[in-house]
Structure 1
Amino acid sequence: MKKKWISMLAAAAMLTGTLAGCAPKPVDSTTAATEAPAGTSKETEAGQEETPAADLPVLKVAVMPFLNSIPIEYMINEGLDVKNGFKIETVYFANGGAMNEALAADQWEVGTLSAAAVNSLAIYGAYCIADIGHSEGGLYTLCKPDSPIAQVKGANPSYPDVYGDAETLKGAVIATNTGTISHLNVIKWLEKLGLTTDDVEIVHMDFPSAYQALMTGNCDVAALNPPTSYQAEAEGMIVTSSLTTLGVPQFDSIIVSNKAFTGKRDVLVNYVKAFFEATDALQADPDMAAQLLLDWYTENGSESSLDACKNEIATRPFVTSEEAKTITIGDSVQVTGEFWVSQELLEESKFPEIAKHVDDTIVKEALGY
């Protein structure tokens, strides 16, 4: 398969103009939670007075235009932050890479990350304190139906639902947002077929650009995350691999800055408590969760549909407070870190830092186990 640099660059340039009018907009840094007016107090059900909202400690919470920020949106909408004795101030980022860059500048204190958490822990000294969502669902590599890759299925009998083989994939141009969990999906896919990243050409693009490159024939494969992965599938693209079909469990995790971890432990306990109150509610009412997700995508400039959001909610469930008690925190980011080292995305000397920056005491205190 020939490289397609010129056409890909042209497509990217065209897409830039197309998307300019619908770029994600920063989320308002003030919460929408119902609260008592500043300087006043209100009574709890037990008859005790709550601290005025204006006097509550503030957490700078990073959000992104993805599913893993929905519990934060729910917490704000339902006032779970104020109820649990703190206030959320949101800080918007387009992706996990941007969050890590901002982490070094102390621009946020707590956020939710998947693959990008490797760098948060290993390089920036942040801590993983809870696993809160199954992030493997909807992580797809896709190709066109007439691609040679789509004509071969089950080349590795241990993975019967995976498409492609060494012959059809060698030299393929694969577009994805490098350094994300979608990149990990590519690495695992190639591995199961006896290939490495040296056998293909991986081109860095944001997910909408990679989707567009696939649809216009300017790449052979796009590795996408929701909602663009579901959109491409709905357009007839073939799902050639996923973390699910490759048997790779992954979690979105709550990540906190080193400064917050050492200085705001009590607030973080309350944050985790409120977070799992949100995931319990979202899992109990998938229709409500899907509508909230659709509204979130629309607000932040992504096209989706209610059916696509229902599919994402079903295939990428949140971790409930009960399930959280059964999970060994940090296993997911450890697996990701091992692959980053193997692909020279992380210095081997930094790998031990991952295990050093996993802490399960906060979630255990928050959930009482």
Structure 2
Amino acid sequence: MKLKKLIAFFLAGAMALSLAACGGNDNSSSAAGGTSETGNTATESTDTGDLPTLKVAVMPFLNSLPIEYMVQNKLDEANGFKIETVYFSNGGAMNEALAADQWEVGTLSAAAVNSLAIYGAYCIADIGHSEGGLYTLVSPDSPIAQATGTNPSYPDVLGSPETVKGAVIATSTGTISHLNINKWLEVLGLTPDDVQIVSMDFPAAYQALKTGNCDVAALNPPTSFTAESEGYVVTSSLSSLNVPQYDSIIVSNKAYTERRDVLVKYVKAFFQACDALQADQDMAAQMLLDWYTANGSETTLEACATEIETRPFVTSEEAKTITIGESVEITGEFWVSQQLLEESRFPEIAKHVDDSIVKEALGF
């Protein structure tokens, strides 16, 4: 019954969003480069002369903030290229657009598994710690919140087979939050077949939790931090589950093959942005708040500051110490174990990792 109510809840929300989109709101475009809706790019008004243009995918999350910083501070032009942003709501939508060449370079975490293994894209740099703020949450009065100590190896993980089995879990499937769900279930001795996972965007999933239309919501920042601040109980996180994750720069197969020189310039500019954001976290928090607001997410400056602190960007110096692609391979192995990726596809991940571009960009 709860699953039927959740589906009805989701459909009603989708209809409302559709009607709102028909209203012609002039403020609906993405803040970084003027995109109006998924897969569409707006015409750039700036005269960039003969600079080569890169189609850069952005999402309404922290991992796109360095791109916004590059655009605002014209680091793209300073490094000899021009960014044209293409907006997507999540990593799954980005992957679906790869086959149509709708973007050339973007930033992904768990969804990068399919980018590499199925769509032939390449991972060329790890740019952000993405473990922080990846939560599964329940209401304080949920039996799940009361179940402690099920797996002594994970003392901060809540829930038990009895309290979680049969639960309706809302999340954006195919994302890193989906990975969090699966790892949480594994730690509790369950599988995805023991629950009902319903796909919707993160704000809708949180609304479903608040209205009692689901038992658990698996959320990304900033929604996860908002939910926690409003009293919802964190039952697992990638941190408490000891699952390392990075956001990575992913490039389409075509861009990797044909546009290496521009990609080197892009990676150099990207790490200039990361260095600046890490050096001034107050500035970064305000900028993140503006980014979320421009892209329709409600949050607070305090929540943004927490996210900046708990999910730091990789600096140009730290990048020299990271084994690129290790994180996405860990995720890929987990996808295979959960039958989310065909085992025959797994070797493609390692074949589509290249650290030579970041080495050339940063000089190491």
- Bin the TM-score by the shorter chain: over 0.9
Task: Check if 1:69 corresponds to 2:67.
Answer: no
- Can you give the 5+ residue segments of structure 2 that lack an aligned partner in the other structure? 35-40
> Following the alignment from structure 1 to structure 2, what is the Cα–Cα distance between the partners of residues 307 and 31?
34
Indicate the residue corresponding to 1:9 in structure 2.
Answer: 7
Indicate the residue corresponding to 2:334 in structure 1.
Answer: 339
Indicate the residue corresponding to 2:28 in structure 1.
Answer: 25
Q: Which amino acid aligns with 1:117?
A: A
> Following the alignment from structure 2 to structure 1, what is the Cα–Cα distance between the partners of residues 268 and 288?
21
Indicate the residue corresponding to 2:51 in structure 1.
Answer: 56
> Following the alignment from structure 2 to structure 1, what is the Cα–Cα distance between the partners of residues 7 and 121?
36
1:77-97 per-position Cα deviation (integer Å, ceiling 9, x unaligned): 111001111111111111111
Indicate the residue corresponding to 2:92 in structure 1.
Answer: 97
TM-score when normalising by structure 1: 0.91
> Following the alignment from structure 2 to structure 1, what is the Cα–Cα distance between the partners of residues 71 and 223?
26
Q: Give the drift of 1:18.
A: 5.2
1:334-354 per-position Cα deviation (integer Å, ceiling 9, x unaligned): 011111112221111111100
Q: Give the drift of 1:217.
A: 0.9
Task: Check if 1:326 corresponds to 2:321.
Answer: yes
Alignment of 1:84-163 (within 5 A): 84-163=79-158
> Following the alignment from structure 1 to structure 2, what is the Cα–Cα distance between the partners of residues 314 and 32?
33
Native 8 Å contact 1:109 1:256 kept in 2: yes
Q: Which amino acid aligns with 2:234?
A: V
Q: Give the drift of 1:32.
A: 8.7
Indicate the residue corresponding to 2:244 in structure 1.
Answer: 249
Structure 1 range deviating more: 239-248 or 15-24: 15-24
Q: Give the drift of 1:15.
A: 3.0
Alignment of 1:204-283 (within 5 A): 204-283=199-278
Native 8 Å contact 1:11 1:218 kept in 2: yes
Structure 1 range deviating more: 99-108 or 150-159: 150-159
SS at match of 2:224: helix
Indicate the residue corresponding to 1:197 in structure 2.
Answer: 192
> Following the alignment from structure 1 to structure 2, what is the Cα–Cα distance between the partners of residues 63 and 219?
29
Native 8 Å contact 1:96 1:180 kept in 2: yes
SS at match of 1:223: strand
Structure 1 range deviating more: 323-332 or 168-177: 168-177
> Following the alignment from structure 2 to structure 1, what is the Cα–Cα distance between the partners of residues 350 and 28?
35
Could you say if the C-alpha distance between residues 31 and 131 of structure 1 is closer, same or farther in structure 2, counting changes exceeding 3 Å? farther
Indicate the residue corresponding to 2:37 in structure 1.
Answer: none
Q: Give the drift of 1:200.
A: 1.4
Structure 1 range deviating more: 148-157 or 23-32: 23-32
Could you say if the C-alpha distance between residues 60 and 164 of structure 1 is closer, same or farther in structure 2, counting changes exceeding 3 Å? same
Task: Check if 1:172 corresponds to 2:178.
Answer: no
Q: Give the drift of 1:12.
A: 2.0
RMSD: 1.8
Native 8 Å contact 2:3 2:214 kept in 1: no
> Following the alignment from structure 1 to structure 2, what is the Cα–Cα distance between the partners of residues 11 and 264?
44
Q: Give the drift of 1:13.
A: 3.6
Indicate the residue corresponding to 2:180 in structure 1.
Answer: 185
Query: Matched residue pairs, number?
Result: 350
> Following the alignment from structure 1 to structure 2, what is the Cα–Cα distance between the partners of residues 84 and 234?
40
Q: Give the drift of 1:167.
A: 1.6
Q: Give the drift of 1:30.
A: 6.5
SS at match of 1:55: coil
Which residue of 351, 358, 362 maps to 2:357?
362
